[in-house]
Structure 1
Amino acid sequence: MRIPRIYTNSPLSEGNHTDLDENAAQHVGRVLRMQPGQVLRLFNGDGQDYPATITDANKKRVEVLVGAPEINRTESPLQITLGQTLSKGDRMDYAIQKAVEMGVSCIVPLTTDRSEVKLKGDREEKRLRHWQSIAVSAAEQCGRARVPGILPIMTVAQWLEYSRDCDLRLVLHHRTEQSLASMDKPAHIALMIGPEGGLTAEEIALAEKEGFMAVALGPRVLRTETAPVATLALCQWLWGDIGSQE
């Protein structure tokens, strides 16, 4: 039987009896209906996994005995900050889920000129919490020991300023002939993905003026939720931990 892997926003220390946080306890107690004596693998974002045994469980509270931490080697040596333009329906959910699986370090939702989604106030806060929960679930499923943060929504100008310290900044643009393979190995990438209708010529020009390099993945135009997955996979293959690269 597969041992459930659960994220908890709680301190974890070997030999301690620890209450899981509310979300983790609800999932373990109500959804999985686990009982005392059953085992879990916990992580809290510190880069390690913790085997644990349930010592008490009900619908509101789950207590565990934490075992010795184990090194988790699923984090990529390549840092990638993804600037993903907001999209409708479950497209944004899909992009976030798959980006986490592909090893992204941080996700910044963007609002651009052709964005179809506008979020403010309570609606923005609700969606940010929803997207963070998707990131948590994706990290649990794919074996990561860290959960990428979902930052507040930024404008293009804010994103360009925020990503300034990354040593390789990329904006997808299918009309350029420059490819990823032509670039030197980076340590930290900023990747900018446009909306369904694409970034405007003005936005691309502004990004390039601020140090972004326009790159194309091939002759086909990718959907806004497909583009980050394809690009992240290629970046990890060229410079990260996918394939045989050292």
Structure 2
Amino acid sequence: MPPRLFLDTPLGSAADGDAAASQPHELILPAGAARHVQVLRLQPGAAITLFDGSGFEWQAEVLRMGRSEVSVHLHARQLVHRELAHAVSLCVVMPANDRMDGVIEKATELGAAAVQPLMSERSVLRLSGERADKKQAHWQGVAVAACEQSGRAQVPEIAPVRTLAQWLKSLPPVQASQRRWLLSPTAARPLAELARAQAGATSTLVLSGPEGGLSPAEEQAAREAGFEAVQLGPRILRADTAPLAVLGWLALQSV
């Protein structure tokens, strides 16, 4: 398969039947994408696939390779359908070390629409200010790379780091079309049972705590914000495993 590259600029109108967007034309790649092509050592005539996050893909052919500039021949676009049946957002109290990178990567591959990094009372990893901004930008880059690899044409949004308390207060009232799940090993209700009871939902928020779980006060605040506690089985999963297990299960339901 041709290499897939994300361009952080619109490649054409998303309106079906837009003639200008469907006609072949020459395009000079932005610096980041051009470097990617050069690193891959592609030559004129090589095929590549471009996407801009709109849900469309463009087949393209490398025309010229300069020292710092790469031009391609952009062909007609096509709409691709590789998203989950409904939007799933992971709201994750960040695990320690670099394990959040893995959460972002795998969540993107599995089809997450968005990821909200959070800090709670028992968080080990705490970020603020410029450091938090840099991490958010880095994680957005991880999501882009995972989209390029996995074939997704829509890039999940990696939201700014927030405290759990701030984030819960910012949520609007829960709607009938939205499921809000709190992952808890002490919950009585299994995932499959709760999913069947809420089968008509069109979006899902999955809240996952840190190693050691949320504090009792935090669990109560989540319940007051409309989250229903759900358990994933008899085993205790790590903070970077539990949200991906739920997302993987939901992804399989969309097949």
Normalised by the length of structure 1, the TM-score is: 0.91
Shift of 1:123: 1.0
Q: Which residues in structure 2 correspond to 1:130-149 (within 5 Å)?
A: 130-149=138-157
Residue in structure 2 matched with residue 196 of structure 1 by the alignment: 211
- Shift in Å at residue 202 of structure 1? 1.2
Equivalent in 220, 232, 236 of residue 217 of structure 1: 232
**Which of 62, 76, 98 in structure 1 is aligned with 2:70?**
62
Q: Residue 100 and residue 176 in structure 1: after superposition, are their counterparts in 2 closer, same or farther (change >3 A)? A: same
Amino acid of the residue matched to residue 198 of structure 1? Answer: G
Task: Could you list the structure 1 runs, at least 4 aligned residues long, displaced by more than 3 angstroms after superposition.
Answer: 161-166
Conserved in 2, the CA contact under 8 Å of 1:87 and 1:116? yes
Q: Is 2:107 the counterpart of 1:96?
A: no
Q: Is the 8 A contact 2:97 2:125 kept in 1?
A: no
| Structure 1, unpaired ranges of 5+ | none
Is residue 2:27 matched to residue 1:18?
A: yes
TM-score normalised by structure 2 residue count:
0.88
Aligned-residue sequence identity (percent) comes to 37
* 2:239 equivalent to 1:230: no
How far apart, in 2, do the equivalents of 1:39 and 1:161 lie? 48
- Partner AA of 1:200 in structure 2: S
> Partner of 2:120 in structure 1?
112
Alpha-carbon distance, 1:236 to partner: 2.6
3-state SS of 1:67 partner: strand
Mapping of residues 70-85 of structure 1, within 5 Å = 70-85=78-93
The 5-angstrom pairing of residues 141-180 of structure 1 reads 141-164=149-172, 165=174, 167-180=178-191
Alpha-carbon spacing, 1:44–1:226, altered in 2? closer, same or farther (3 Å): same
Structure 1 contact 3–39 (Cα < 8 Å) conserved: yes
Map residues 34-45 of structure 1 onto 2, 5 A cutoff.
34-45=42-53
- Following superposition, the deviation at residue 56 of structure 1 comes to 1.9
What RMSD, in angstroms, separates the aligned Cα atoms of the two structures? 1.5
Question: Deviation of residue 59 (structure 1)?
Answer: 4.6
Would the alpha carbon gap of residues 58 and 84 (structure 1) be closer, same or farther in structure 2, given more than 3 Å must change? Answer: farther
1:82–1:107 Cα contact (<8 Å) kept: yes
Partners of 1:55 and 1:65 within 8 A in 2:
yes
* Equivalent position SS for 2:76: coil
The corresponding residue for 2:3 is: 4
Deviation at 1:162, TM superposition (A): 4.3
Query: What secondary structure, in the 3-state scheme, does the structure 1 residue paired with 2:37 have?
Result: helix
After the TM superposition, which of the residue ranges 4-13 and 156-165 deviates more from structure 2?
156-165
Structure 2 residues not aligned, in runs of 5+: 12-20
Give the Cα–Cα distance (whole angstroms) in 1 for the partners of residues 204 and 119 of structure 2. 20
* Structure 1 residue 197: Cα displacement: 2.2
The whole-number CA distance in structure 2 between the counterparts of 1:105 and 1:209 is 24
Aligned length: 238
Partner SS, residue 68 of structure 1: strand
Are positions 1:33 and 2:41 aligned together? yes
Q: CA deviation at 1:234?
A: 1.5
The corresponding residue for 2:14 is: none
1:32 Cα deviation after fit: 0.6
